[in-house]
Every structure is written in C-alpha cells, then in structure tokens.
C-alpha cells in the first residue's frame, strides 16, 4: 500500500475513476466538492468529503490553498489532480511539495516546460523531433512578415499557454492575420493569464495521434500504444480509439519512439501524453499533456493496465514493473464522449435534469460517469455526461459493439450527443477508418439527417414509455437523503 489516504482535487467522473483505483489499492479517498455539486454523486462515494465554500471556481476547484488545507486536515499523504482545474498548474505542484504532500503527476519544472506550447516545440526540435514550421511570439511587423514568408498560408494562430482548442484561428490570407493575432492574444490573456501566441503551419487534413507514456523518473519510460483522436469538433475530441486505423506497424513504432524521446527530453515523470499531428506518413509534435487525459480508458482497455494505479505507484516511488508498450496491446478500444449538448443546435450546452437513465452494459462495455436518474447536470462545469468505451477483438467488432451499446443507451430529459454517435457509427468513412480531423465539419449535415430520421425508431422511444408512471410523468429514482452520507464540513 503506497499511501494510506489520497485527496482527489477534482469532481465528476474523474473523481470517481480515481476513487476506484484507490479502493482497489486499499487507499482511503477524500473528496472535495463545491456548493454546485451538493447533489452530485462523486463525493458521496469517497471515504470522507469536504465542502469547498465559495461561489467562484477560484474559491473551489481552483483553490490551491483549500486543497492543501483539506489534504493536511484529513491526513492525506498525496493529492491526485484528475484532469482540468489544477492538474497542469505548476504552482500547485510546488505548493504540494513545500507542504510535503505528494502531487500525483509530473514535477513542477516539467509542467512549466509543457505549459509553454511554443517553447516546448523548440525544445523538441532541438532533440530531433519533427515539428511544423512555426514562429514563437513574433513582436514587430517585420518579425510577423518574416514568419509569414517562412511558414506560408494556411497558418494557425494559437495562444502559447492555451488549451481546449480555445483562441485558435486558421488564417488563409494576409488580411485575416491581424484579427487572428488579436483574438489569440486577448483570449490568451483573459482565459490563461498570458497574451503570448505563436504561428504554426496549418495542415489541411491531418490525423490526431497521441501516445500514452508512463515514466518512473528513474530511467524507465514506457509507451503504451497510441490513441487516434481525429473525430473532433472545433478542435475538441469527440471519439478516441486505440490503436489508430491509419498506422502501419512501422509507423506505430515510430510514434512510440518519438514519444519516448520527447518524454526523456523533458525528464518527464508519471503518466503523460505526447500529442502529434500525422499527415502523409510523418508525425509532427503538437504538445505534451502533463496529466491523465479524459480518453485514458481506451489505453486501459487494450493494455489491461490501470493507469491511475500506475500513477499512484509511481508517485509513491515504486519502479514500473511492466514490459514495453506495443506488445501489451490487445484488440481494439473506442471511446465516445457523451456530452449534454445539442448537436442539432450548434452543440449548445444542455444542462438540466436527467429524468430517465439506463446505461449500456454487456461484454466489452465500460461506462465512466457520475450521473444517475434524477441528477441535474450543473451548468457551471463541463458538459460531460459519461464516457462510453468498448473493447473488441478487432475494429469491426469494436464498432459493432459501440453501435449496439449506443442503441441501448437511454438518457432522457436533456439533449445529448448519443444520437449523433449512433449516426457516426453507421457512416462509411468512419467505419472504414479513413476519417481525419475535418470529418465532423464535412459530414455534420448528413449525420444530422440520419439523427432526424432515426428519431422515431430507437429503443429510446420504447424505453421512454417504460420510464413514465401511470400519469405519464417521468419516473425518477428516489433521491438519496443527504444525511446518509459521511460528509464533513469545515
């Protein structure tokens, strides 16, 4: 047992995911939750939980001070940050270190390097890892003119300290450039506290390929195969799979070798992801994600390795006891991010109450979620309802299984992306694995037509009737009484 107690500085499905790993390792878990999450499930599943008072996220899930306070108060030796929130904040890592609480993730110095997306590209290029032509924060009009001449159109402008696809703009002609730079700078400042930006060559139809790595910081860096995350909307991932249908065994080895080299270049420790764009047989380094990622279950399904447990063990100082990557991978896994969004209305967030819910099951099906019937998706946080992941012996079995699982999935009361995924898993280009990052943009109208046509045919329609009581009202599980749970207040 590496630690006795771990605080989870996060919410929702990832908090539950971390608790599950802790429980299997015999570690007690401590949850923290905001007032908006008062009726959420995740903190009730923890061994102890603490309310984070305050209306702003800076006073709750982004409060370094409170996380450390509750970790110490409850006697936790370590903190798991999940993804988002404080997970990539090097100040948090430093604060944990100075308070002698182990941060489950990479060192602050590594995180600082990874956080500057323009600078880390330069570091990778110095280590012989291919990068796209780019320019880091060109300041004067001369520098910008030089960058344009060297990189050529189309280009993409991005905030250097950004994430989540925010603030990025594609520029096809000179007159669009000024606005795009202003946009990246403003968004960089308002969302990430830094106006720095960079210009990069824009690839017209790449695939997004990323490699999961595990590193113990004492010389062992392991690659655990790649994930293909090319189904995206507005640069945000919707579907992820492992392995990638686009790679030959040689290309797969090349991606793995580049990723291990990249991790070594920045002395990476713990679990991390090296992202690449892939076009015409070449990989171009995109960024390092210095944390566990949303899509980690696909790697877990093909390797059988519990990545969260490995993170905890590495943080506790244990050596990695696993053989090298690709040979571990077995079969095919695919994940759909099920969001509370309305695909028929520009993916508008659709928070609100789930008044009918039945998740799929059966062989090879995994659901990571913090929702239940009667739960209201809060509007303050991301719109993730669940992650539906399936495993099959090959891609054909995995896609058929996903289609079956999606058809079983019932989510009533709020708009969600399940109907869109049902259409995608019937669309030939995707089924043949020939899609790239422009897939959703090119196919959306046709996919929405299928959604419309399927509306009256799905199992959901039948189950909608079952979920009604005699008066035609939706049936909800009785709400669990608050005092049934071990909640501690400050």
Q: Which residue ranges make up the site for ligand ADP (CB under 6 A)?
A: 132, 156, 158, 162-166, 200-203, 206, 208, 232, 235, 275, 277, 286-287, 437
* H-run or E-run covering 277: strand 270-279
Tell me the HSE value of 28 on the side-chain side, using a 13 A CA sphere. Answer: 11
The string over 124-140, giving b where at least 16 C-beta atoms fall within 10 Å of a residue's C-beta and e elsewhere, is: beeeebebbebbbbbee
Smallest distance from ligand ADP to CB 172, Å:
13
* H-run or E-run covering 17: helix 12-25
Closer residue to ligand ADP, CB minimum distance, 49 or 212: 212
Question: What does the alpha-carbon distance between residue 473 and residue 470 come to, in Å, rounded to a whole number?
Answer: 7
Question: What does the alpha-carbon distance between residue 384 and residue 390 come to, in Å, rounded to a whole number?
Answer: 17
Smallest distance from ligand ADP to CB 123, Å:
16
- Verify whether residue 291 is a known catalytic residue: yes
Smallest distance from ligand ADP to CB 87, Å:
13
Closer residue to ligand ADP, CB minimum distance, 107 or 132: 132
The residue length of the chain stands at 490
Residue nearest to ligand ADP (CB): 235
Smallest distance from ligand ADP to CB 275, Å:
6
Closer residue to ligand ADP, CB minimum distance, 79 or 156: 156
Smallest distance from ligand ADP to CB 282, Å:
13
Question: What does the alpha-carbon distance between residue 402 and residue 54 come to, in Å, rounded to a whole number?
Answer: 40
Among candidate residues 185, 207, 233, 291, the one labeled active-site is: 291
Two structure tokens written together for 263: 């991790």
Closest CA to 70 of 55, 84, 86, 83: 86
Closer residue to ligand ADP, CB minimum distance, 262 or 367: 262
Smallest distance from ligand ADP to CB 89, Å:
15
Question: What does the alpha-carbon distance between residue 34 and residue 50 come to, in Å, rounded to a whole number?
Answer: 9
* H-run or E-run covering 307: helix 307-315
Closer residue to ligand ADP, CB minimum distance, 37 or 116: 116
Question: What does the alpha-carbon distance between residue 357 and residue 409 come to, in Å, rounded to a whole number?
Answer: 8
Q: What are the DSSP calls for 347-405, one per residue?
A: TEE--EE--EEE---STTEEEEE---TTPEEPSSS--EEEEEEEEESSHHHHHHHHHHH
Question: What does the alpha-carbon distance between residue 146 and residue 136 come to, in Å, rounded to a whole number?
Answer: 12
Closer residue to ligand ADP, CB minimum distance, 290 or 340: 290
The string over 325-342, giving b where at least 16 C-beta atoms fall within 10 Å of a residue's C-beta and e elsewhere, is: bbebbebbbbbbbbbbbb
Closer residue to ligand ADP, CB minimum distance, 156 or 451: 156
Question: What does the alpha-carbon distance between residue 232 and residue 210 come to, in Å, rounded to a whole number?
Answer: 14
Smallest distance from ligand ADP to CB 164, Å:
5
Residues with active-site annotation: 291
């Amino acid at each position: 047992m590496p630690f006795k107690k771990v605080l989870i500085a996060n919410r929702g499905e990832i908090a539950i995911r971390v608790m599950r790993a802790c429980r299997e390792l015999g570690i007690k878990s401590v949850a923290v939750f905001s007032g908006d999450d008062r009726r959420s499930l995740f903190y009730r599943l923890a061994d102890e939980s603490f309310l984070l008072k305050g209306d702003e996220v800076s006073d709750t899930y982004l409060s370094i001070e409170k996380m450390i306070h509750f970790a110490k108060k409850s006697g936790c030796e370590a903190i798991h940050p999940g993804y988002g929130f404080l997970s990539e904040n090097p100040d948090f890592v430093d604060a944990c270190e100075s308070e002698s609480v182990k941060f489950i993730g990479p060192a602050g110095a590594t995180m600082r390097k990874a956080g500057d997306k323009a600078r880390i590209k330069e570091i990778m290029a110095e280590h012989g890892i291919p990068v796209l032509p780019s320019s880091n924060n060109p300041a004067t009009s001369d520098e910008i003119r030089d960058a344009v001449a060297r990189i050529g159109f189309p280009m993409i402008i991005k905030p250097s300290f950004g994430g989540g696809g925010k603030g990025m703009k594609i520029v096809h002609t000179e007159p669009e450039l000024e606005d795009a730079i202003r946009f990246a700078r403003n968004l960089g400042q308002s969302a990430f506290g830094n106006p720095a930006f960079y210009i990069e060559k824009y690839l017209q139809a790449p695939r997004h390929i990323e490699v999961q790595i595990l590193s113990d910081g004492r010389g062992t860096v392991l690659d655990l195969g790649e994930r293909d995350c090319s189904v995206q909307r507005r640069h945000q991932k919707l579907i992820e799979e492992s392995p990638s249908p686009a790679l030959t065994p040689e290309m797969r080895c090349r991606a793995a070798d580049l990723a291990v080299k990249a991790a070594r270049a920045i002395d990476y420790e713990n679990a991390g992801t090296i992202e690449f764009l892939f076009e015409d047989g070449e990989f171009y380094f995109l960024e390092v994600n210095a944390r566990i990622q949303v899509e980690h279950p696909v790697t877990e399904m093909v390797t059988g390795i519990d990545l969260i447990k490995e993170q905890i063990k590495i943080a506790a100082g244990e050596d990695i006891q696993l053989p090298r990557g690709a040979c571990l991978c077995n079969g095919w896994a695919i994940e759909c991010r099920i969001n509370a969004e309305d695909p028929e209305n520009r993916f508008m967030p659709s928070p609100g109450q789930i008044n009918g819910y039945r998740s799929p099951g059966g062989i090879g099906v995994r659901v990571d979620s913090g929702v239940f019937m009667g739960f209201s998706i809060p509007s303050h946080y991301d719109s993730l309802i669940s992650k539906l992941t399936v495993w099959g012996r090959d891609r054909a079995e995995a896609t058929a299984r996903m289609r079956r699982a999606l058809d079983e999935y019932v989510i009533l009361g709020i708009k969600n992306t399940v109907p869109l995924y049902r259409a995608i898993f019937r669309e030939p280009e995707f089924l043949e694995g020939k899609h790239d990052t422009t897939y959703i943009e090119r196919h959306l109208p046709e996919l929405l037509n299928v959604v419309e046509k399927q509306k009256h045919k799905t199992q959901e329609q039948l189950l909608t009737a079952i979920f009604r009581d005699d008066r035609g009202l939706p049936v909800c599980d009785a709400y669990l009484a608050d005092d049934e749970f071990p909640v501690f207040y400050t």
